[in-house]
Structure formats: C-alpha cells, structure tokens
Amino acid sequence: MIFTLILALAFAVVAVIFALGNPESVTVTFLNFQLTESLALVLLVTLAFGLLIGVLLMTPGAIKRSVSLSMEKKRLKGTEKELDKHKSKVTELKEKGIVEEQEKAQVIADVQKKLDDVA
C-alpha cells in the first residue's frame, strides 16, 4: 500500500514537471466541443480524470476483498472456538482415561491380593 502511494506520488510529480515544461496552447476537440487551453492544463486535467477513473474501477474489487476478508475472519473465529472445545474435550477424555486406568489397576491389585490370600 505504501509502495503504491509512493509510486503514485512520484508519477504525479513527473507529470506536473512535464506539464509545466510544455506551456504552449493546444486545441482539444471532443465530439462537438472545442477547447483551447495550455498544454500543461490539458495534461493535468487528463491525468486527474485518468486517476479518478482508475480509482472508480478499483473500488468494487477493494470493497469485495474487504467484505470477503471480514467474512473469513468471522469464520476463523468460529473455527478457533470449535478447536478450543475439541481441545477441552480431549483433555477431559485423557483425564477420564487416566482415572479409569487407575481404577482398573486398583481392581487388578484387589483381585491379585484375594488370589494371594486364597493360595
């Protein structure tokens, strides 16, 4: 973004220098309209119209990207919440598995003790 701004500013400076170096009068004809002005003014106005048209053509794409990015951020938040739920469930199941293993070990120890007492 900053690079684009610097590039646009440099282009504008070069255009102004070029326009000021060409002060001759020119006649511009468009359809039935005819205008006689300095070349510098015609060049600067043309540059301004070109920049305006460029910005207007880029705006829908920029808005679309912005909306898409916003939607993806919301989707990412939802996915992160789901991931946290799964992580807590995994932790819960691991703890439950450890408790069950301890209970099994205790039962095995009790059975072993009874077998030892019987023998």
DSSP one-letter string for 65-93 = HHHHHHHHHHHHHHHHHHHHHHHHHHHHH
Question: Strands 33-38 and 25-30: what pairing?
Answer: antiparallel
Q: What is the pLDDT of residue 88?
A: 92
- Give the pLDDT confidence score for residue 89 in this predicted structure: 92
Domain count along the chain: 1
Distances (CA, A) of 85 to 47, 78, 80, 95, 98: 56, 11, 9, 15, 20
Amino acid symbol at 46? T
Taking the chain (119 residues) in runs of 10, the rounded mean pLDDT of each run is 86 81 86 88 85 92 94 94 93 89 88 82
Going by the DSSP 8-state scheme, the letter that residue 33 receives in this structure is E
Cα–Cα distance measured from residue 28 to residue 6, given in angstroms and rounded to the nearest whole number: 31
Domain range for 85 is 2-118
